[in-house]
Structure 1
Amino acid sequence: MNEMSPVKTTLKDWESDQEVRWCPGCGDYAILKAVQRTMPDLGVTPENTVFISGIGCSSRFPYYMETYGFHTIHGRAPTIATGVKLANPELDVWLITGDGDGLSIGGNHMLHLLRRNLDCQVLLFNNEIYGLTKGQYSPTSRVGTRSPSTPFGSVDRPVSPCAFALGAGARFVARGIDVNKNLSATLKEAHAHKGTSFIEIFQNCIVYNEDVFEPFAAKKTADDTQVWTVHGEPLLFAKGEKGLALDTDKLELKVVDVADGDWEAAGVVVHDQTNRGLAQMLVQMPFGDFPVALGTLYCDPAPTFDSAVGEQNSAASVGKDHDLQALIGQGQTWTVE
């Protein structure tokens, strides 16, 4: 595939003329604006970009991007995206999905997209609820969540989207928050990765699950409740006064105090985004005892599905005539008089 030269665009080039229709105050607005503001920095063009979604509040996203787009059926965006990328590998493919669309009816399709490593970006909006269908609990809803379908509280153990992605073999896994300014930087890292880039975005549903992420997403407490991962940098939080170290007895992370900025003496782990085991520990940290890990948690590129299919097709066609009629007519045929 030939690399395209970067081009200059502006925010206006990525905004469609469609009225944005989400509930006032929905976190989707912030994510949409973050994506639209990021696209000019990627050096790509709207006419070479496609946004594909399934069903749900988040899946209205393609209407609001001045690009090609498909609003498909529930949970099947990964299959449509696979076909689009194989048919035209030059396209820059983005998937927009939610915790219900992507991890319930679409869980099977998401798994295969991740293990195949198609070159695309997956943005999973996680609001821990079904918003479009009026507030039923979703695969990521916490135990005890009361909803029309769980009036006495959910007894299901929730899915961790990032743990699911790692288990499915994803080569790029990240987390962000809808209104956090660092989301754009994470989107840029995801786009630079060749392969399936999976980003879980904590998104506030103001109607059915308002402020469920406030304990760690609130700006006033963010220093103590968030740890932003940067490759090659120590895993510090609380303004550098605390960090994450390895508990060698339990082979899991633990919180340690950092005295006088000497994080090395405290045993704080340096983030290695190529370490799948470390990424797994970061996504499984229980909030309350630990901060929430954000940013690029894992990035270890591998050959992509679309490039492998392209190479295989090219090799299979060497020395052969491209005759569609002969292909259709091969094998047993009958002529009807």
Structure 2
Amino acid sequence: MNDMTKLTAKDFATDQEVRWCPGCGDYAILKAVQRTMPDLGADPSRTVFISGIGCSSRFPYYMETYGFHTIHGRAPAIATGVKLANPDLDVWIITGDGDALSIGGNHTMHLLRRNLDCQILLFNNEIYGLTKGQYSPTSRVGTRSPSTPFGSVDRPVRPCAYALGSGARFVARAIDVSKYLPDVLKAAHAHKGAAFVEIFQNCIVYNDDVFAPFTAKENSGRQLWLKAGEPMLFDNGSKGLTLDREALNLKVVEVADGDWQSAGVIVHDPANKAVAHMLIDMPIGSFPMALGVIYDDPRPTFESAVLAQNEEAAAGKNADLQALVSKGQTWEVEKEPRKA
């Protein structure tokens, strides 16, 4: 790519027909990613999107970059191989709540704890959409579906809690149609290491409006968009979060005349892991939904450690494949003469 060329969103869109259900939140996420790529200075020839199986996993077909549509739950494993083979590539993983947290839960966990330098976008619609609406690992208790006709009795996985517990150093949340989604994507890309982003994505066919309690226009006041160094305010600044130091948890306080300091509203520190846990675990209803970058505390990446180890092991040695193959005990099998 010519360094002087200014790319646009169209440069990251393929000629493939985008095929999701009309009204699906995946369309909004796709557009947000395509619009964000030029702002990141992304080079299509050095960018790769890797997906597993599910509605979201059609994503690589629609990005004018390299792409790999893999098998169910194994996108993290493939991404690890890609990044180790070519650390200069910008790797994005596209997955869903079923793909990443059910059959792929093991792979996702190890990618996060290893801290591979990549972006993981988990589309969470709390349902299996591609296979016609069965309940998923994130479905709420009582969810009725073809596989749970009397209502699910499972306690759901909370993706961000799972990520934080797996050792993720960057955890964020966003909404498919939110104008702030590109900002979250940029923050994830700027993080050196595994950046985990849960995106609330509406499945209009099998789980429509499941997130309406905080995504609907009339409920937008229940969204708490976090920004580093800024007070945790929501509902047009009329409410905020403070730390109850005796109970060691968060609580909602009223804010009068914009005086958040007097109300005791705390300022967001993305490196505070204890508060990040509290933000993720806030129950919807009595608390707002924490969105934006919840936790961001970088550490050395997996591939950088592997490459450094390989360089140290190879220092002062000459690569000789034949010598390596012949090393140790060897023998030669001679062909017996053919009998008359």
Shorter-chain TM-score: what band? over 0.9
Task: Go from structure 1 to structure 2 and tell me whether the alpha carbon gap of 1:235 and 1:7 turns closer, same or farther (over 3 Å shift).
Answer: farther
In 2, Cα distance between equivalents of 1:155 and 1:249: 34
Are residue 250 (structure 1) and residue 253 (structure 2) matched?
A: no
In 2, Cα distance between equivalents of 1:326 and 1:214: 65
Among residues 49, 56, 69, which one is paired with 1:51 in the alignment? 49
Q: Secondary structure at the match of 2:240?
A: strand
Q: Could you tell me which residue of structure 2 aligns to residue 285 of structure 1?
A: 282
Q: Could you tell me which residue of structure 1 aligns to residue 337 of structure 2?
A: none
- Contact persistence 2:212–2:219 (CA under 8 A): no
Which of the two has higher C-alpha Rg? 2
Q: Could you tell me which residue of structure 1 aligns to residue 269 of structure 2?
A: 272
Could you tell me how far 1:168 is from its partner in structure 2?
Answer: 0.5
Are residue 185 (structure 1) and residue 177 (structure 2) matched?
A: no
Normalization by structure 2: what TM-score?
Answer: 0.96
Are residue 232 (structure 1) and residue 218 (structure 2) matched?
A: no
Q: Supply the AA of the counterpart residue of 1:144.
A: G
Among residues 5, 28, 31, which one is paired with 2:29 in the alignment? 31
Among residues 149, 152, 169, which one is paired with 1:151 in the alignment? 149
Instruction: Please list every run of 5 or more consecutive structure 2 residues that lacks an aligned counterpart in the other structure.
Output: 335-340
Over residues 281-310 of structure 1, what are the superposed CA-to-partner deviations in whole Å (9 max), with x where a residue is unaligned?
Answer: 001000000010000000000000011111
- Contact persistence 1:235–1:243 (CA under 8 A): yes
Q: Could you tell me which residue of structure 1 aligns to residue 12 of structure 2?
A: 14
Could you tell me how far 1:262 is from its partner in structure 2?
Answer: 1.0
Among residues 294, 306, 323, which one is paired with 1:326 in the alignment? 323
Q: Could you tell me which residue of structure 2 aligns to residue 174 of structure 1?
A: 172
- Contact persistence 1:7–1:43 (CA under 8 A): no
Over residues 190-224 of structure 1, what are the superposed CA-to-partner deviations in whole Å (9 max), with x where a residue is unaligned?
Answer: 000000000000000011001101110112321x2
Cα root mean square deviation, aligned: 1.2
Q: Secondary structure at the match of 2:252?
A: strand
Residues paired across the two proteins, number: 333
Q: Could you tell me which residue of structure 2 aligns to residue 73 of structure 1?
A: 71
Are residue 302 (structure 1) and residue 299 (structure 2) matched?
A: yes
Identity %: 74
Could you tell me how far 1:171 is from its partner in structure 2?
Answer: 0.4
Q: Secondary structure at the match of 2:262?
A: coil
- Give the 5 Å matches for 1:93-242: 93-222=91-220, 224-242=221-239
Q: Supply the AA of the counterpart residue of 2:185.
A: L
In 2, Cα distance between equivalents of 1:7 and 1:103: 40
- Contact persistence 1:99–1:128 (CA under 8 A): yes
In 2, Cα distance between equivalents of 1:296 and 1:304: 19
Q: Secondary structure at the match of 1:265?
A: helix
- Contact persistence 2:175–2:199 (CA under 8 A): yes
Could you tell me how far 1:107 is from its partner in structure 2?
Answer: 0.4
Q: Supply the AA of the counterpart residue of 2:44.
A: P
In 2, Cα distance between equivalents of 1:17 and 1:334: 57
- Contact persistence 1:178–1:202 (CA under 8 A): yes
Deviates more, 1:184-193 or 1:240-249: 240-249
